[in-house]
Every structure is written in structure tokens, then in C-alpha cells.
């Protein structure tokens, strides 16, 4: 899929600038609504076009950030309107019930900081947006946190691609490697944190049982 996407992106280098900005906006939007969509690859392509001098740095940053925020808020509104039972009962493949339940647990413990960190948590961005809607968190606070998260993530991602220069193959390969390594490290840390939490909870429970 990534190779096919890379071929499509390469063919778009001669497209109208306005169309390219629209593509960047839509890819960032769709990535939030439909998680398997490789939105970060398209964002890397935008950074590459900035490096070649084809597109404006600020407009690429603005298009991708607005797309990310609008996509996130779209799922928040869907979560608010449809409610918890709709998603739990259907257990969608890309939005499984277990992830929604886990996200609800995070919200009960951490609240808005989870939304603030959403762009940096691979595999759960869409679940976080839905769960925040289901939990009926303040829409304005969610919008603020999502905007900050997307702004920081996209600035890092676009600037990294821009600094890699004007060779698309190099940008694509290096940024793909960076993203894979980042996802691996973060997922490992998340797994370790969950395991530590479960162990601590089990030890605390055993102590309470022993005291009784």
C-alpha cells in the first residue's frame, strides 16, 4: 500500500498548488477518521515539496494541522451523537470495543491530558476522539487540546521532512523509518506502563486481601 501511495504522490508533483494543499488537508482529516489511512506519509510528501521550494512551509503546516483537528473533532461529534452503546455493540474492526473501554478508563484517570497527547499515541488517536465524545467532555477544551497536540506533532513532522532535503526517496525512506521506530518505542512504553499498572494493582489487592 505504501509503495502504491508513493507512486501516486510522485505523479502529483506537477499538480496545481491549490490541489496539493487540499490533498494535504484531506489526508490529515481522513487519517483521523479512518486510522489505516497513511496520512503521515502524505504529510511527509508535503514537507518534501516545501524542501524543493514548490509549496509554502506555513501553508503546508496550516493545511495538515487543520485537517488533523477537523478530523479529530468530527469523531468527537460522532461519539457525542451516537453514544457509547452504538460502538460497544458493533465492535468495529478499526474501532474495537476493548479499545473504547480502555480509552474510557484513561479518561476517568487522566481526562484532558489524554486528548492533549493523542497525536503522539499511535494506534489510539481515533479511539481517543470517539471516547472523548462519548464521555461528553467539554467540546471547547477538547478542541484546544487537540489543536495543541496536532500543532506540535505536525511541526515536528514537517520540519523533519523539510530538513531532509529535496530527494523524495530519501525523505520517504528516512521518515518512514523514523515513524516506525517511534511507534515501536511508544507502543513498548505503553505496554510496559500497562503491565506495571496491572502488577501494582494486583499487589495492592493481595495486600488488602491479606489484611482482611
Give CA 166 to chain center in angstroms.
26
Instruction: Provide the b/e sequence for 54-71 (b: ≥16 CB within 10 Å).
Output: ebebebbbbbbbbbbbbb
Q: Which pLDDT belongs to residue 1?
A: 45
- Number of domains observed in the structure of the chain: 1
Query: Domain range spanning residue 48?
Result: 2-211
At residue 12's C-alpha, the angle toward residues 10 and 13, to 5°, is 75
Q: Which pLDDT belongs to residue 13?
A: 58
Closest CA to 84 of 116, 127, 121: 127
Is the pTM of the predicted complex or chain greater than 0.85?
Answer: no
Long-range contacts at 93-99 (CB < 8 A, ≥ 24 apart): 94/34, 94/35, 94/36, 94/126, 95/126, 95/127, 95/130, 99/124, 99/127
Q: Dihedrals φ, ψ of 91, to 5°?
A: 50, 60
Closest CA to 129 of 120, 141, 118: 118
Positive or negative CA dihedral for 45, 49, 52, 56? Answer: negative
User: What is the Cα–Cα distance from 176 to 182, expressed in whole angstroms?
Assistant: 10
Rg (CA), the chain: 19
Each residue's pLDDT expressed in tens, for the chain with a length of 212 residues: 445 445 555 556 566 778 888 888 988 888 877 765 555 677 777 777 777 777 888 998 999 899 989 999 998 998 888 877 777 766 666 667 777 777 677 676 777 888 888 888 777 778 888 888 888 888 899 999 999 989 988 888 888 777 776 666 666 666 666 666 666 766 666 666 667 756 776 776 666 666 65
Amino acid at each position: 500500500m505504501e509503495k502504491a501511495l508513493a507512486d501516486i504522490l510522485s505523479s502529483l508533483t506537477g499538480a496545481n498548488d491549490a490541489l496539493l494543499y487540499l490533498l494535504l488537508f484531506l489526508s490529515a482529516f481522513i487519517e483521523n477518521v479512518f486510522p489505516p489511512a497513511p496520512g503521515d506519509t502524505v504529510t511527509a510528501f508535503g514537507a518534501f515539496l516545501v524542501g524543493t521550494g514548490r509549496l509554502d512551509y506555513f501553508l503546508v503546516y496550516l493545511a495538515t494541522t487543520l485537517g488533523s483537528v477537523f478530523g479529530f473533532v468530527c469523531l468527537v461529534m460522532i461519539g457525542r451523537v451516537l453514544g457509547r452503546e452504538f460502538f460497544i455493540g458493533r465492535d468495529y474492526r478499526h474501532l474495537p470495543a476493548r479499545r473504547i473501554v480502555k480509552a474510557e478508563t484513561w479518561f476517568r484517570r487522566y481526562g484532558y491530558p489524554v486528548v492533549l497527547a493523542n497525536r503522539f499515541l499511535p494506534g489510539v488517536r481515533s479511539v481517543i476522539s470517539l471516547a472523548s465524545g462519548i464521555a461528553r467532555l467539554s467540546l471547547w477544551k477538547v478542541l484546544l487540546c487537540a489543536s495543541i497536540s496536532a500543532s506540535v506533532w505536525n511541526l515536528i513532522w514537517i520540519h523533519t521532512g523539510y530538513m531532509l532535503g529535496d530527494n523524495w526517496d530519501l525523505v520517504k525512506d528516512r521518515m518512514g523509518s523514523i515513524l516506525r521506530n517511534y511507534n515501536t518505542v511508544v507502543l513498548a512504553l505503553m505496554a510496559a506502563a500497562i503491565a506495571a499498572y496491572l502488577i501494582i494493582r494486583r499487589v495492592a489487592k493481595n495486600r488488602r486481601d491479606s489484611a482482611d
